[in-house]
Amino acid sequence: MSLNVSDAVDYKGFPADKSKTGGWVPAALILGIEICERLTTMGIAVNLVTYLGAILHIPSAASANIVTDFMGTSFLLCLLGGFLADSFLGRYKTIAIFASIQTLGTAALAISTKLPQLRPPACNSIDTSICEQASGSQMGILYLALYLVALGTGGLKSSVSGFGTDQFDEKDEKEKAQMAFFFNRFFFFVSMGTFMAVTVLVYIQDQVDRSLGYGLCSLSMLVAILIFLSGTRRYRYKKSVGSPIVCILQVVVAAIKKKTEELPCNIECLYEDSPEELRIHHTDQFRCLDKAAIVTEGDNGRDFVPNPWKLCSVTRVEEVKMMARLLPIWGTTIIFWTAYAQMITFSVQQAMTMNRSVGNFKIPAGSLTVFFVAAILITLAVYDRVVMPVWKKWKRQPGFTNLQRIAIGLMLSTMGMGVAALVERRRLSVAKDAGRAATTLPISVFILIPQFFLIGAGEAFIYTGQLDFFITQSPKGMKTMSTGLFLTTLSLGFFLSSLLVSIVKKVTVNEHGKGWLANNINLGRLDLFYGLLAVLSLVNFVMNILCAKWFKPQKAKKFVNDMVDIEINACVSK
C-alpha cells in the first residue's frame, strides 16, 4: 500500500509521506494558534467596554458600538483571509503572516494602554460628572491597535481549521476517524481559550495592569507562532486552486448573458462535460441559473474550448445552487450573534453597577462571562454524554441534525433576551430605590447568570450546527468559502448590534438627552432594548423554521465530492 497522500505535498513540494507528515501532532501545533487567537480576541472584547467607559470616559452606547464594530470587522475579514489562502498564499503562509500581524496589534494595544499621554486625565474627584473624553488622536492610536488585531484575527481564522483538516487523509479510514475526533474537540479547545481569557486575563487587566494583560496576549501568540513554525517539516500542504468566487461569478455572468434564451424542455440538452458517474443531479430550484448551461453559438473560445464566462456545465451550475440554498439559513442565524453581542457589552456594563463581592474578593465585571463559557462547556458535555446516546436509542440517529441544533440555539437566545429584559427591569427598580447616581447597587451580580447561561448554551448548539451545516451542505471545493460565509454571520450580527444601538439611541432620546440607552445605564431603559431584541429573535426563530422546511439538500451521486474537486480545478485552470 502506498504511503503517499495523493492530494498533498510536503514542505519540499514532494508527495507527502504518511509516515513522516500529517496526523495528530501537526494538527495539535496548528490548534495552538487558534487557542491563542481566541485568548487574545475574547480577552480584548469582553473587557474593552470597561476600559472605554472607566478610563477613556466614552458613553455606554458608544463603548458598546466600538466593541461590536471591532468584533464584526474581525469576522468580516475572514473572507479576505479565505480568499488570499485559496488564491495566492495557501493556508500555511496565511496563518503565519496574519498571526504575526495580530501579535503586532496586541503589542501596540499594550503600549497604548500603558502610556499616560494616550488617555485622558481622571475624572474630577469631587464632581464625577466632570470627565474629559479621550481625544481624537488618543482614540486613533487605540483604533490602529484594535484593527491590527482584527486584521490578524480575520486573516488566520478562516485557514486554521482548514489547515488542520489538511493533516488527515480522508481516503484513509483511520485518519478519517482521527479527523472527526479532531473537529469534535476543536470547539472545546476554542472555548477553553475563551475561558482563560474571561478569568485569568480579565483579572490581570483589572486588578494588576491592563497593559500587562495585553502584553501577555502578544507573548502567547508569539510563542504559538514559533510552535507553529516548528512543525513546518511535518505538515501536509495542499496546493491553492483559486477562489471559488470566480466559479460562482462565471455561472452568474453566463446566466445573465443568456437571460433571454428559452430553457429546453429536456434538461439533457443542457451542457455537461463531466463523466456520468461524477455528475451532480439537476435540480428545479433557481431555474434561472440553468441558462448558463444552454449551448449557443459563440460559446467556444480558442481551440474550440468552451469559454467559462459564456457556457458552464450543469454540474458547475448545481454547485452554485448548493451555495444559494445556504443563504436563507445563513440570513436567519445573524440575529443570534446580535443577542450574543449584548453579553460582552451591555451585560458587562450592568455588572459594573452591581455588587460583585464574594467575601473579600471582588469579581471583575468582564469575568462574569465565565458563566457564559461554562454554559458552553456544560452544554457540549451533556449533549455528548447524555443527549446523543438517548437520541440514538430513541430516534436511531447519532444526535440532532445541524438544522435542529441551529433552531435550538435560536430558541435559547430568544429566551435569554427575554430573561435579560426581566433581570434589567429588576436592576432598574433597585437603582430607583437606591438612587440613580449610586456607583454600586445593593443587588447581587449573580442575578445575571441566567441570561449568560441561556445565550452560552445557545452558542454551543448554533455554532456547532452552523459549522456542520455550512461544511456538509456545500461543494467540497467551496468549503473554505462556506466557512467564511458562516463566520460572516458573526460579523453581521455584531454590525447589526451597532446599527440597532445607534437607531434606538436616536429614536428614543428625549428633550433631556435621555432615552433607552442613556450614558448612565441607571438612567436608561435597557430592559426595553433587551425586550426589542427578544421580539426580533422570536420573529427570526419562526423565519428560520420556515427556511429549514424549504431547504432541500442536494441529492448527489456517490462520487459527488471527487467531482466537485475536478470542476473547481477546471474552473480555475480556465
CA distances, 454 to each of 185, 230, 358, 369, 408 (Å): 22, 40, 23, 12, 11
| Separation of alpha carbons 529 and 342, rounded Å | 10
| Separation of alpha carbons 497 and 506, rounded Å | 14
pLDDT at 503 over 90: yes
- The CATH code for residues 324-568 is 1.20.1250.20
pLDDT at 566: 35
Which of 61-65, 343-347, 445-449 ranks highest by mean pLDDT?
Answer: 445-449
| Separation of alpha carbons 338 and 344, rounded Å | 11
For 267, the grid coordinates are: 434538461
Instruction: Give yes or no for a contact between 314 and 270, defined as CB atoms under 8 angstroms apart.
Output: yes
Which of the residue ranges 124-133, 335-344, 529-538 would you say has the lowest mean pLDDT? 124-133
pLDDT at 236 over 70: yes
Q: Is the dihedral of CA 52, 53, 54, 55 positive or negative?
A: positive
Residue bearing cell 447589526: 496
| Separation of alpha carbons 387 and 384, rounded Å | 6
Amino acid occupying residue 119: R
Domain boundaries, the chain: 1-242, 244-322, 324-568
pLDDT at 301: 65
**What's the topology of domain 1-242?**
Growth Hormone; Chain: A; (1.20.1250)
- Residues sharing a CB contact under 8 Å with residue 374, sequence separation 6 or more, in sequence order: 195, 453, 456
Instruction: Give yes or no for a contact between 423 and 437, defined as CB atoms under 8 angstroms apart.
Output: no
Interval 469-497 mean pLDDT: 82
400 versus 455: the higher-pLDDT residue is: 455
For 433-444, give the secondary structure using H, E and C: HHCCCCCCEEEE
Does 324-568 match 1-242 at the fold level? yes
pLDDT in tens, 146-196: 999 999 998 888 788 778 878 888 777 777 777 767 766 776 777 778 888
Interval 519-537 mean pLDDT: 92
Q: What pTM, to 2 d.p., does this model score?
A: 0.80
| Separation of alpha carbons 316 and 307, rounded Å | 13
Interval 488-496 mean pLDDT: 91
Containing H/E element for 337? helix 334-343
Partnered with residue 506 across adjacent β-strands are: none
pLDDT at 61: 84
- Residues sharing a CB contact under 8 Å with residue 454, sequence separation 6 or more, in sequence order: 375, 412, 413, 415, 416, 419
Up-side HSE of residue 123: CA atoms within 13 Å toward CB? 13
Q: How big is the CA angle at 77 (ends 76 and 79), to the nearest 5 degrees? A: 85
pLDDT at 335: 95
pLDDT in tens, 407-452: 999 999 999 999 999 999 999 999 888 887 777 889 999 999 999 9
pLDDT in tens, 504-516: 988 988 766 678 9
Which of the residue ranges 253-257, 491-495, 555-559 would you say has the lowest mean pLDDT? 555-559
pLDDT in tens, 294-334: 988 877 766 677 888 888 888 888 888 988 888 999 999 99
Instruction: Give yes or no for a contact between 423 and 340, defined as CB atoms under 8 angstroms apart.
Output: no
The per-residue pLDDT of the chain, averaged, comes to 84
pLDDT at 513: 63
pLDDT at 423: 94
Straight-line distance from the first to the last Cα atom of the chain, in angstroms, rounded to the nearest whole number: 35
pLDDT at 398 over 80: no
Strands 441-444 and 354-355: parallel
355: helix, strand or coil: strand
What percent of the chain has a predicted confidence (pLDDT) above 70?
A: 91
| Separation of alpha carbons 414 and 541, rounded Å | 8
pLDDT at 453: 92
pLDDT at 556: 44
Q: For residue 235, which phi and psi values (nearest 5 degrees)?
A: -75, 155
